[in-house]
A and B are shown apart, each in its own frame.
Chain A
């Protein structure tokens, strides 16, 4: 699904990531760890083509990202659900419309019952009409997750999804992500929360990747 071959990423002449080689298989569950500023967010941005690698080859769904036009990237993002730490909503639209936004963008009809079920799944059925600024941090994260999965993407990328949440809410979100993985979705979570990784490994066979010194390492054994 996502394949990196000696991928490098530079910002203004400074190499942030280098020689990254990885193959993310369908249905896998990965954690991405590393110190702040190591390049976790940059790695995720490469995975949904917000950034282009400065070196190496990056294939998304079998296509070299350098060959993709702007419309191709848009279509690709419908197959990749993204959950950011800051969630990124349209604050003037109610939660219901924010969650259904990928459907509107894709020109697909919104099934009210499916939407209701989805909001129920993330525990936000009662907040459908609320505006994003009226939601708590945990509610916003769950809403972002609902939006990320509404198009039934093949891959789910989450960037510090529990960064602003208490432990109970973090576990609740993790449970949802594990459920998605059991449904066959590939999940990649960037986090520095080792407790969250331990909790996940108790439920799914997750691999842990660590970015250190600009390179990607498999770091599952030390947890």
Chain B
């Protein structure tokens, strides 16, 4: 482990930092911890952004689309389909409507039955895709007309399964944000422990500094600078690796745009840039608080 950590870069202390002796192993351990946390933070961020996009996409796409399923004896299927399309053509709020052809039906069923499905031999219902205008349509009125003129037609505005899907995606986004908060908290806790260990190990240094007239802020600064730099450097490393890993994830466009990739899109690629400064901020706050708390016990 020590040999492995020895491969990591370590900045040489400068200025006031020099009063604290170099601690190679713990320094690299802090660096590695910050890198691991930043790597995880990139994924949590990607998850949060992706689930947000997914929720928006599902909400938008499903809210503006509906399906009419026509179940009728084979000899009545064409007549009922025509009747449904006629009704839709004069229904306010319908932007477009069309009956799915055999090839589209086969595509829909192929994930379950394979590509060579003989659609024409199966008693399948006819599906009609309805795209609504921004204002939406009167679902209840349409259902009544369909019941009267095409008794085999059933209008489905996707509400039943749209709501839980959007709720799930929203929940996923919240989990992503919660993960980011937990990662930040865990990073703060680990850096606090590392800083406390460093402060305890450098009791003699602190006593000498107090003896020659050092104020608490001077002593704390020496430790804070070092841990902030370690936190920042580790986070840069972890962020770069995390972004590279996210970029290497497979594309999910094959799902027809219904799903979304667990990656960043457009300006979203800039979000990970916030991780190193935030990690440095967490390291700064955690170390400063630990140092000032501990120094109060030393005269």
Interface residues of B in 262-299 (CB under 8 A from A): 295-296, 299
- Number of B interface residues, CB 8 Å? 21
- Taking CB atoms, residues of chain A closer than 8 Å to B208 are 88-90, 101
Find B213's partner among A84, A97, A106 (CB 8 Å cutoff).
Answer: A106
Interchain CA distance A48-B212 in the complex, whole Å: 10
Q: A50-B299, A90-B21, A93-B18 are in contact. Are A71 and B215 (CB under 8 A)?
A: yes
Q: Type the 1/0 row for A137-162, where 1 means its CB is closer than 8 Å to any CB of B.
A: 00000000001000100000000000
Interchain CA distance A217-B205 in the complex, whole Å: 36
The B interface, classified by DSSP as helix, strand, loop or mixed, is: helix
Nearest chain B CB to A74 CB, angstrom units: 4
Q: Would you call A70 and B21 a contact (CB within 8 A)? A: no
21 A-B pairs in the complex with CB atoms less than 8 angstroms apart: A48-B211, A70-B216, A70-B295, A70-B296, A71-B215, A76-B213, A77-B211, A78-B212, A78-B213, A82-B211, A84-B211, A88-B207, A90-B205, A90-B208, A92-B21, A92-B22, A101-B209, A102-B212, A104-B16, A105-B212, A105-B214
Q: Is A178 engaged at the interface, CB distance under 8 Å to the other chain?
A: no
Interchain CA distance A92-B21 in the complex, whole Å: 6
Q: Is A216 engaged at the interface, CB distance under 8 Å to the other chain?
A: no
Q: Is A73 engaged at the interface, CB distance under 8 Å to the other chain?
A: yes
Measured CB to CB, the residues of A under 8 A from B are: 48-51, 70-71, 73-78, 82, 84, 88-93, 97, 101-102, 104-106, 147, 151
Interchain CA distance A84-B204 in the complex, whole Å: 13
Interchain CA distance A76-B213 in the complex, whole Å: 7
For the complex of A and B, 8 pairs with smallest distance between CB atoms: A78-B213, A92-B21, A77-B213, A102-B212, A105-B214, A74-B215, A88-B208, A50-B299
Q: Would you call A90 and B211 a contact (CB within 8 A)? A: no
